[in-house]
Amino acid sequence: MSARPDAAATATVETAATRVETESADPCCAAPLPVLGRDVTVPLVTGGEVTYAALDYAASAPALQRVWDDVAAYAPYYGSVHRGAGYLSQLSTDLFENSRVTVAEFLDCRPGDQVVFTRSTTDSLNLLAATLPADCQVFVFETEHHASLLPWRDARVSYLNAPRTPEQAVATLERALADRATPSGVDVPALVCVTGASNVTGELWPVKELAAAAHAHGARIVLDAAQLAPHHPVSVQDLDVDWIAFSGHKLYAPFGSGVLAGRADWLQDSEPYLAGGGASRKVARRADGGVDVEWHTTAARHEAGSPNVIGVYSIASACKALTEAGFDSLVEREQHLIAKVRAGLAEVPEVRVLSLFGDDAPRVGVISFVVEGWNSSHFAAALSAEYGIGVRDGLFCAHPLVRTLLGSDPQDPGECGAPEAAPGERSLNAIRVSFGAGTPDEHVERFVGAVKELVRDGAQWKYRTEDGRCVPDRG
């Protein structure tokens, strides 16, 4: 490799972003981190405009202002990665590989672990599924997001029933691993896939204990940290997980990148996830007319094609921003917001908050609920149209879990988006409010007030179903 640009030039890109300070709405907590779009106003169907309350962080969190500024500062220096002799290409390559180091530090990876850049958590787990050794058995709880539930199509999969306590989760996994059939004296590979925080209830799972149970029975474990990493520090070494997957778009870096980080052996022993340039180290024609390929053994083995350097750099920027802000203060502020929302919803008898582990379970800023007498799609539409509040309704790409929490039959109809039921009819879906480091107090206070008003007074506007969505009737 030819000489890299000097450190001062790289530092110019990495430190050019503007740092914005805000005042905290509550003296007991740190200020929310500045996010892109925090001043956006939206029209109300009842007239006028209001600042948009983005309360759908669990789907996609807004970009941190720092991330946006860092990306904007780098953009003029954009160049091809790993393939060019020019200054901008070399600078971009440095930025890309330094981002890998930053992510490894953010996750507290072990020496020798690989950090592979992907498109998303879904992509990361599908990549890992493609690397499973022959005859590998996968164990996954029915409570998982579809990104964790579905990628294992070519493996033997054991789906575990939803536990009702963290202790039951560990006991269920231990029984399943102990009961797996293995030929005498044969080491049959096994993998456990588990979430760190539920994308439906926000509840934290006993990852460290599940990892210990997996390893005690000769299995490995991959952590879906899509909902955990934006809210809590995550240490691969402390949790003792073998791999971890997460998405940039939930970590305040919505530019199309994700991460799979962890042990190198299965990654090195498998065929590349995608075949092409970047993954190949040497390609040569054979005498018989065919082609011989020598693949990389580094993370590049599974990063074929021109990489998304802006997406990767944005993840690294978000990792630095969260680390520098300090997770202690971020968690304190988020718990303050959670307490406000839960206390407000508890004052409305018609609201039922969904939970696996109970009211006292530790959780992140993700809360799902249903409202008696309301179709969830109708309620979410009214929050948006009449109050400027963005939440999520549906089954949240976790159909088995939401059906379990709603007490429905597993075969009841339902879909990830809006249901077929009309406004006012019972629907097999729920409403989810989610927030994080960029959420001001006013947004959750407006949300709680809106819930109370809608339940007490009803919607001010008429709504109809259009293309499967409940929307204001403007006719």
- Residue 340: exposure state from Cβ atoms within 10 A (0-12, 13-18, ≥19): middle
Name residues whose C-beta falls within 8 Å of residue 211's C-beta, 6 or more positions apart in sequence: 221, 239, 240, 241
Contact between residue 60 and residue 256 where contact means Cβ atoms under 8 Å apart: no
Q: How many CB atoms lie within 10 A of CB 400?
A: 18
Can you tell me the distance from the alpha carbon of 71 to that of 64, in angstroms, rounded to the nearest whole number? 11
Nearest by Cα to 297 from 317, 281, 312: 281
The token pair at 249 is 């778009």
Helix (H, G, I), strand (E, B) or coil at 28: coil
Can you tell me the distance from the alpha carbon of 102 to that of 84, in angstroms, rounded to the nearest whole number? 23
Can you tell me the distance from the alpha carbon of 304 to that of 313, in angstroms, rounded to the nearest whole number? 18
Catalytically annotated residue among 109, 136, 319, 397: 397
Please indicate whether residue 136 is annotated as part of the active site.
no
Q: For residue 90, what is the enclosing H or E element?
A: helix 87-106
Classify strands 156-160 and 258-262 as parallel, antiparallel or unpaired: unpaired
Please provide the DSSP assignment of 233-246 as one string. ---HHHHT-SEEEE
Please report where in the chains the tokens 């005690």 appear, as a residue: 216
Contact between residue 418 and residue 29 where contact means Cβ atoms under 8 Å apart: no
Contact between residue 200 and residue 398 where contact means Cβ atoms under 8 Å apart: yes
Contact between residue 373 and residue 426 where contact means Cβ atoms under 8 Å apart: no
Question: Measured in Å, how far apart are the chain's first and last C-alpha atoms?
Answer: 65
Active site residues: 397
